[in-house]
Structures are given as structure tokens and as C-alpha cells.
Structure 1
Amino acid sequence: MVNDQERCEIIFVYGECRRNFKQAIRILQERYPNVSYSPKVVKKVVFLKILVL
């Protein structure tokens, strides 16, 4: 699972990529090569955050 800081980074990068999952995952992997951000994790974080807002 991801912590709060990682969630914020995922959401920030997702917005930076204009809601493009593939591009967001690619950028996250470039910025953080030692962390595995799968599409499933990114979608879960983003959709849960959107539903809460």
C-alpha cells in the first residue's frame, strides 16, 4: 500500500499529466525508479481521492 506522501505525489503527477494514466505511470517510474507504481495502484488512489472530494 502507499502512504499519504506517495498518494499526494500520485495525484499531483496524474493532474500534471492531464488525467492520462499511462503517462502518469511512466513519469512516476522515471522519478522514482525504486518504487513500483502499477496502473492498478494509480487508478485506486486517484479514483478513491476523486470520490472523497
Structure 2
Amino acid sequence: CANCQTTTTPLWRRDADGRNICNACGLYYKLHLTHRPVALAKPVIKRRKR
């Protein structure tokens, strides 16, 4: 991810500049119109059991 440097994500997105960003950063940017703080990044992706 160009924002948080993660390498695994369920979905890759693109920001306004065309750089690849992870799903979490893309959704955060869409909601807040600012880049996601690196402090919010989690070390592990949790899967939902459905």
C-alpha cells in the first residue's frame, strides 16, 4: 500500500493519484477525505467466520 506499506489485503484500490492502496486506506479516504493514519494499521487481518 502506498499509504501504510501493507502487502496483504482482501482488495486493492487506487487513490486519486493512481497509486495502489489497500482496502482499509481506500475506505478511510472515501469517508474522511484524508489519508488513513499509519497508527490505525493492524499487524494481522482478521477473517470473519460466517
TM-score, length of structure 2 as denominator length: 0.31
Structure with the higher strand share, 1 or 2: 2
Structure with the higher helix share, 1 or 2: 1
Higher gyration radius (CA) = 2
